[in-house]
């Protein structure tokens, strides 16, 4: 009884996160549910996590997590509210409850959201390995969370273009590997801005000047598309040039015996070379 009371009075930590979707609403996961509870285990060298989902109307409503790492072992009770737009509000308490650092709480919050996100995003939409996970937002307010998620996407416009500008200044002096790497960054950015547009459209009612905000992501996407085409052309030109040089070298190498023969017989034939 004492343990239950400790959990009830433990400090609650509230966060929001967004499950990236391209559909008009988050699809339910009814096709995946075979029992009311689904238990999973995740092990790494530094931490062990086992958790059980709680479902209602084909959506997650809660999770019970047993977590341990090199320094502690604890139970985490999670309550979830999943919105049709892919936005997720979740809160959790620790047992035993201590004064955990803000950094540690955010670390646990990110783990929890990854657990929630993977159920919907990985199985219903596509593999998550190519995605860049958004950090969870610590707040009780839905509108504040939406605004902060938008700000995160907006900051990516500057970051992606800054990274690509660096590559435009220096790639010629580097190996083709760097050009290929920048192409990967451009394509990653284009994918993120597609999701940014989807997020903005799904949450227009909560964002001031939503049309202008949406246009900023459309412009960023178009800019990266132009850069991708430029990179692809440059890459094709570079590869073609390298192939040409290698072909010339190969021809000269194969012609080497013939050149030697010509050099030997030329004096006897009074051929000036």
Cα end-to-end span (Å), the chain: 104
Cα–Cα–Cα angle for 51, 54, 57, rounded to 5 degrees = 150
- At 162-212, the pLDDT tens digits run 887 765 555 554 567 777 888 888 999 999 999 999 999 999 999 999 899
Residue 15 CA to residue 79 CA, distance in Å, equals 11
Residue 119 CA to residue 210 CA, distance in Å, equals 29
Residue 91 CA to residue 80 CA, distance in Å, equals 7
CB 194 within 8 A of CB 21: no
Residue 101, Cβ neighbours under 10 Å: how many?
A: 9
What region does 140 belong to: left with phi over 0, alpha with psi -120 to 50, or beta?
Answer: alpha
- Domain boundary assignment for the chain: 2-130, 141-249
Per-residue pLDDT of the chain (273 residues; tens, 9 = 90+): 444 444 455 689 999 999 999 888 888 765 445 444 555 666 666 788 888 888 888 888 999 999 988 888 899 999 999 999 999 999 999 887 777 888 999 999 999 999 898 888 654 444 444 456 789 999 999 999 999 999 999 999 998 888 877 655 555 545 677 778 888 889 999 999 999 999 999 999 999 998 999 999 999 999 999 988 888 888 888 778 778 888 888 888 887 777 777 677 666 656 554
Residue 187 CA to residue 221 CA, distance in Å, equals 10
| Predicted local distance difference test score (pLDDT) of residue 4 | 46
Residue 29 CA to residue 87 CA, distance in Å, equals 15
Copy the structure tokens of residue 227: 């850069």
CB 65 within 8 A of CB 76: yes
CB 199 within 8 A of CB 217: no
Residue 81 CA to residue 119 CA, distance in Å, equals 14
CATH number of 141-249: 1.20.58
| Predicted local distance difference test score (pLDDT) of residue 29 | 66
DSSP-derived 3-state class of residue 195:
helix
Residue 59 CA to residue 82 CA, distance in Å, equals 7
Closest CA relative to residue 66, chosen from 43, 49, 90, 42: 49
Residue 76 CA to residue 107 CA, distance in Å, equals 13
| Predicted local distance difference test score (pLDDT) of residue 174 | 58
CB 179 within 8 A of CB 164: no
Look up tokens 């801005």; give the residue: 193
CA distances from residue 28 to 35, 86, 112, 203 in whole angstroms, order as listed: 15, 11, 19, 19
Q: What is the pTM of this model?
A: 0.76
């Amino acid at each position: 009884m004492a343990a239950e009371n400790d959990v009830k009075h433990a400090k609650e930590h509230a966060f929001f996160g967004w499950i990236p979707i391209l559909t008009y609403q988050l699809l339910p996961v009814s096709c995946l549910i075979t029992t009311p509870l689904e238990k999973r285990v995740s092990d790494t060298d530094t931490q062990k996590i086992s958790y059980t989902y709680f479902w209602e109307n084909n959506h997650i409503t809660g999770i019970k997590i047993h977590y341990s790492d090199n320094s502690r072992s604890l139970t985490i009770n999670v309550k979830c509210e999943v919105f049709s737009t892919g936005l997720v509000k979740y809160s959790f308490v620790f047992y035993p409850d201590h004064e955990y650092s803000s950094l540690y709480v955010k670390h646990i919050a990110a783990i929890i959201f990854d657990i929630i996100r993977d159920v919907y995003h990985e199985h219903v939409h596509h593999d998550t390995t190519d995605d860049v996970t958004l950090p969870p937002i610590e707040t009780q307010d839905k509108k504040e969370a939406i605004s902060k998620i938008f700000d995160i996407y907006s900051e990516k416009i500057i970051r992606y273009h800054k990274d690509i500008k660096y590559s435009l200044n220096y790639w010629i002096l580097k190996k083709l590997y760097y050009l290929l790497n920048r192409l990967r960054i451009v394509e990653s950015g284009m994918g993120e801005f597609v999701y940014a547009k989807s997020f903005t459209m799904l949450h227009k009612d909560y964002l001031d000047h939503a049309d202008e905000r949406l246009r900023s992501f459309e412009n960023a996407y178009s800019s990266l598309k132009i850069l991708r085409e430029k990179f692809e052309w440059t890459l094709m030109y570079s590869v073609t040039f390298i192939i040409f040089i290698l072909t010339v070298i190969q021809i000269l190498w194969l012609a080497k015996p013939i050149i030697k023969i010509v050099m030997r017989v030329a004096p006897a034939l009074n051929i000036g070379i």
